[in-house]
Amino acid sequence: MIDSVGPVVPTSGTLRPVPLTAARLTGGFWGRRQAVNSTDTLAHCFAWMRREGWAGNFTASPTERRGREFADSEIYKLTEALCWDSVRNDHTAEIAELAGLARSAQAPDGYLSTAYGRPGQPPRYHDLNFGHELYCAGHLLQAAAAAARTGASPELVDVARRAADHICTEFADGGNPGVCGHPEIEPGLVELYRVTGEERYLDQARRFVERRGHRSLPEHEFGWAYFQDDVPVRKAEVFRGHAVRALYLAMGAVDVAVETGDGELLSAVQRQFDRTLSRRTYLTGGMGSRHLDESFGDDFVLPADRSYVETCAGVATVMLAHRLLLATGETRYGDIVERVLFNVIATAVADDGRSFFYANTLHQRTPTVIVPTDRPQLRFGGGPRAPWFEVSCCLPNVGRLLASLETYLVTENDAGAQVHQYADLDVTAGGLGLEMRTYYPDEGSVTITVTDPGPAGSSSPARELTLRVPAWAAGATLTENGSTRPVHPGQVRVARRFTPGETLRLDLPVRPRWTFPDPRIDAVRGCVAVEAGPLVMCAESVDLETPSADLDSLAVDTSVAPEDGAVKGWFIPSADRPWPYGSEFESGPRSPRVVPLIPYHRWARRGPTTMRVWLPTTPP
């Protein structure tokens, strides 16, 4: 096992990721979820992949293949998750089985797909728009990087190298000039380059990034923007088209930029990410507002009741923001990681780790329905969480993120350690041993104890400990050596020779607060939301005195500050009419209420319910 154990290990950048072997979640909000991921989610995924025949595709007759054309990728994501989790738990048998399946289906020239190229199947690379061959290969290469860094499967690394060699030959200059309709091969190639040092993998990743945006893919009803093939990466101003595709491409572009020293390319992705955050992102940090094509909408088109916010897009947002954080050291990227983790990732998966949301609405108008547990679902919204979908890309994607979560929490550089996310964590970083304990996000106090201050003596260098102060945390304080001082959003640095057992306490104000939307977001104009620390809150009908009450007749009083777990409001029923327009409308008598709120990540866990995040402030 090598020291650089983690999913993203750049060879340069402002900050370095802390390897999984140097960090351990000990409990708390994320420790509990990671434990459930290890013991339940990964086994659940494997069982369904066997049941649906996706695992069997590697050994079955080509004409008996089951599942969508990209089903292979789910096997690779699960394999990656198991490799990361093998740092904590033994998955030797499962990893060996999955690696063996991949090898069994690989062609002599390295090509690997269960959906194309074999007798009775369509030919290789005949449908770059939707064939997903390179997309699946990208996930294979990322799984191989995990296998190499954890020592979990040399066999999988060999399979991946042969697949990558085939791709580099097939798609070299002078060969196939195409790109995949679903980006993912780009970050996979770069990570395999980082593991092996093979320059041709990096060169091919750069080639794919530069080819994108020249309308080389066949025209489609969703347009070239759907595939990010409308504008070259360097010239684009904002993420557009299919949200997951856009974010995966941006990940690959950042990886290429960092490894080649291409500041122009890195700046282009930063520019696009910034505009996307400011104009095309939901309050939860979720991305993608269109159901038809799973895509970004235009600027400020962010309807709450039609929010798509695919869970995979949340995973990709975390992975992209983490890359930008490592490359630039800018604290603001830690803010969006936190927002997405607590309000998309934590929302998506059930408490038992065995069902999940594919899409994440911010307004459920009709009560959620109970779905069967013995067959995959075809609908992607409407809840509650389903045990499996016909397209089940999201759960193994969350699985690989949670299995490697420690690497997203703390970084290091030559000066010391940087804490970006708050959780119960023991970590060695930047020459310091740290023990972090907290009830965050329910409470805002975070205590960090220095367990190892590094080399002692007057000649030893001072170490620097940097803590992220979230953008919302006006009024935060830091206590050290018995003295408390205010700290401002951004980051606070403490630099000195620490002593064993020394503690620092960061207190973040997690009291609830009103949040108002940009008035250009027509869909929620006249509404308000409540946030508490990093958590988006919501109203759920099961908490009302009359659970059947219509949340759409609710209005809230913003002159009264939200309290812990509640806001002041009223229900104003309106009578149905034959025509829903007129010069004026009368409504029924106001019915004052104290309306309970819960964290958005807790919704749809107590039976059929309606829900809304954005609450009207005027009578409907």
Q: Per residue, what are the HEC states of 122-151?
A: CCCCCCCCCCCHHHHHHHHHHHHHHHHHHC
* CA pair distance 162, 546, nearest whole angstrom: 62
Please name the fold of domain 16-408. Answer: Glycosyltransferase (1.50.10)
Mean per-residue pLDDT pooled into runs of 10, the chain (620 residues): 78 96 97 98 98 97 95 98 97 98 98 97 97 98 98 97 98 97 98 98 98 96 96 98 98 98 98 98 97 96 96 98 98 97 98 97 93 87 86 97 98 97 98 98 98 78 95 97 96 96 97 97 97 97 79 90 90 84 79 91 95 85
3-state DSSP assignment of residue 206 = helix
- How many C-beta atoms surround the C-beta of residue 448 within 10 A? 25
Structure tokens at 376: 């995959």
Residue-range domain boundaries for the chain: 16-408, 411-507, 514-616
* CA pair distance 38, 62, nearest whole angstrom: 33
Predicted confidence at residue 378, as pLDDT, reads 86
CA distances from 256 to 42, 98, 191, 266 (A): 31, 29, 10, 9
Structure tokens at 488: 């401002």
Predicted confidence at residue 419, as pLDDT, reads 98
378, with CB counted inside 10 A (0-12, 13-18, 19+), is exposed
CB within 8 A of 604, min separation 6: which ones?
357, 364, 368, 383, 384, 385, 540, 611
* CA pair distance 384, 609, nearest whole angstrom: 9
Architecture category of domain 411-507 in CATH: Sandwich (2.60)
CB within 8 A of 301, min separation 6: which ones?
280, 289, 523
For the CA atoms of 429, 431, 435, 440, the dihedral, rounded to the nearest 10 degrees, stands at -40
Predicted confidence at residue 204, as pLDDT, reads 98
* Beta partners for residue 496, in sequence order: 463
Predicted confidence at residue 1, as pLDDT, reads 41
Predicted confidence at residue 548, as pLDDT, reads 62
Annotate 525-581 with DSSP letters as a single string.
TTEEEEEETTEEEEEEGGGSSSTTS-GGGEEE-TTS--BTTEEEEEE------SSS-
Q: Are 395 and 356 in contact (CB under 8 A)?
A: yes
Kindly report whether the peptide bond that precedes residue 519 is cis, defined as omega within 30 degrees of 0. Answer: no
At position 284, the amino acid (one-letter code) is T
pTM of the model: 0.97
Predicted confidence at residue 549, as pLDDT, reads 66
Predicted confidence at residue 580, as pLDDT, reads 87
CA torsion through residues 396, 398, 401, 404, sign: negative
3-state DSSP assignment of residue 252 = helix
